A and B are shown apart, each in its own frame.
Chain A
Amino acid sequence: MVIEGKKTKNSNYIIQVENLSKSFKLKIKEAGLVGSFKSIIKPKYKKVKAVKNISFNVKKGELIAFIGPNGAGKSTTLKMLSGILYPDSGKITILNKNPQKDRKTLSYNFGTVFGQKPQLWFHLPAIDSFNLFAKIYDLDQQEYTKRINYLIKRFEIQDIVKHPVRKLSLGQRMRCEFVLALIHKPKILFLDEPTIGLDVVVKKTIRELIKEINKKEKISVILTSHDMGDVESICERAIIINQGKIIYDGKFKDIKKDYLEKKVISISSETPIKLSIKKGIKNIEKRKFDLKIEVDTKKIAIKKVIDALLKENKINDILIEEAPIEEIIEGIFKKK
């Protein structure tokens, strides 16, 4: 049960979360026919703690990323913030209200874009969905017309709003999803994997638009993403969740400095691969013409490694990646 405590006077924060916990009951079934019978007669449940005692605050207009591996509790936390899930214990205050109790009132202030759960009507033109949302959010017709014209122009969807959504490309569709989420001038925007499956150019446009809207309208943005590029270019602050606990809450730049010291380079070459540098390099995969290495950029500059690789080999293809999120988490644990 959520208990609404005394209202806080600190108006700097629009979201306050204190000691939030949530667990799920999972039915366990033994394998086979006998197991099925057993689970009918006496079902067994396992309690899984998805979110364990987390606390954080969000200021007005802040851009925050929730990062963590699959099943870390990111989505569960977001769903409790938006009032969809009920916490077991702890307190959430958003705009001085309780999201579970005042879900309907608060929903006027929320916008959501879930990369995997589209909200546009698939067979109808996007403009029909926009018009419907204007009614759902009780918008004044005149204000809505002004707002929608601005958003359509800004997201450059003039030419596509009258085509059925199913005929649009993923990038066009996502731009329409964003417009849909912003129609009612929300104060908080929840983004769950908003750039999933998009190409580099569209990703960049969407990231820039998010930042622009944030600046202009002082919308707080809460983003979950696996894409470190999203996080890096949109958010100043990152909260890292692992196994239901917050293990880092601070500037993303600092994580980068402290933990993102490793990069992964994959190359393929026309000639058998050679690399004279050994310092700060760990082989992940080595074949005659292909190589995948992890470079510790604290020990050696990435440029030096690439220069050496280019000099010593006849390279066909090269790929440089950030270390995956799991690596960052491992790094944080090691430091502790």
Chain B
Amino acid sequence: MNLTKYYYIGKINFVNSFVYVWDRVASSAFVGLIIFIFTQLWQIIYSEGQIISGFSIAMMLWYFVMTESIVTSLPSIVKRVGAEIKEGQIANYLNKPYNYLLYQYSTYLGKAVFNFFLTFLIGSIVVLPILGGIEFNFLNIPLIFLAVILAISLNFILMMFLGMFSFWFEESGSLRMIYNKIVFTLGGMLLPLEIFPQWLSKISKLLPFSYIAYYPAKLFVNFNFGLFWQVIRTQIFWIVIFSGLTLMMYKIGVRKVSINGG
């Protein structure tokens, strides 16, 4: 299989993102505002300079910058894919010599990488002057970036999986809502899982959602190789499982495509 075409699909999307750069700056700035509010909140909670569940205040806030940057880098794919299926846009993909899922993946990864860096930059500008940096080994950057890319990929494939339900159901709005809230909470976007009661923390760590937000952010604020390998392995495991399921649903679903008119 020739994969270079997917590289070019990703590239044209990355380039196309610059067209919407101000649009994106605005939404990243809004995420920056949320980070600022949390900064104030955590400063009150941490007023006695203690450590909470192994997190210092600096770790806590950098953790939050990381999870926000990852989770908000992808738009709501569930909704978009659903609309493409319902409104017949999918026809434009079906008569081209590429794999539909890989096409979508390269499309969204191109955009997401752009969005991730932008939000991370704005988040850092908010947090850095208040707290300063964290203890950090710059040699780990490529490894953390790999975990981030895999996290975005896992988020992508989970949303694609839910989007496939649009072949059967008219509305996928509620699925999207529930998924987002799960990533916010059980995925560890808002709070590190250590803060949860132990039983909930254990369950959350077993589910794939924590590999989107919690684990890559934890690696970022507290890197160790043992954890790194475990995270990468599990991320790949979930990506493979859900790619298989999504592909299966796609193959069955695409036979049901009905495009009326136009």
Contact = CB atoms under 8 A, between A and B. Distances in A.
Q: Chain B contact residues (Cβ within 8 angstroms of A): what range?
A: 20 to 34
Interface stretch (A76-84, A255-263, A312-320): A76-84
A102 to B, nearest CB: 11
Given A85-B257, A138-B97, A119 B12 contact: no
Given A70-B261, A124-B16, A117 B92 contact: yes
Given A116-B262, A121-B16, A83 B5 contact: no
A78 to B, nearest CB: 10
B19 interface: yes
A71 B261 contact: yes
B200 interface: no
A307 B96 CA distance: 54
Given A85-B257, A121-B16, A136-B5, A75 B95 contact: no
A46 interface: no
Contact of A75 (B19, B96, B261): B261
Given A121-B16, A123-B16, A132-B8, A107 B257 contact: no
A104 B4 contact: no
A24 interface: yes
Contacts of A136: 5, 8-9, 96-98
A86 B97 contact: no
Interface string B177-214: 00000000000000000000000000000000000000
Interface in A123-155: 123-124, 128, 131-132, 135-138
Interface in B225-262: 255, 257-262
A85 B95 CA distance: 11
A83 B98 contact: no
Nearest to A131: B8
B141 interface: no
A107 B95 contact: yes
B97 A135 contact: no
Interface string A174-190: 00000000000000000
A295 to B, nearest CB: 33
A311 interface: no
A110 B257 CA distance: 20
A110 B92 CA distance: 12
Interface residues of A, number: 33
Given A24-B258, A86-B255, A121-B16, A132 B96 contact: no
B91 A132 contact: no
Nearest to A193: B262
Given A128-B15, A138-B5, A110 B95 contact: yes
Given A108-B97, A137-B97, A84 B257 contact: yes
A326 to B, nearest CB: 17
A103 interface: yes
Nearest to B88: A117
Contact of A132 (B9, B170, B260): B9
Contacts of A82: 94-95
B262 A117 contact: yes
15 contacts: A24-B260, A79-B259, A84-B94, A84-B95, A103-B94, A103-B95, A104-B98, A105-B97, A107-B95, A124-B19, A128-B12, A128-B15, A132-B8, A132-B9, A135-B5
Given A121-B12, A123-B16, A138-B2, 4 more contacts: A71-B261, A108-B97, A124-B16, A132-B8
Interface of B: 2, 4-5, 8-9, 12, 15-16, 19, 89, 91-92, 94-98, 170, 255, 257-262
Interface of A: 24-25, 27, 70-71, 75, 79, 82-86, 103-105, 107-108, 110, 112, 114, 116-117, 119, 121, 123-124, 128, 131-132, 135-138
Q: Which 7 residue pairs across A and B have the least CB separation, nearest first?
A: A135-B8, A123-B19, A135-B5, A84-B94, A107-B97, A82-B95, A86-B255
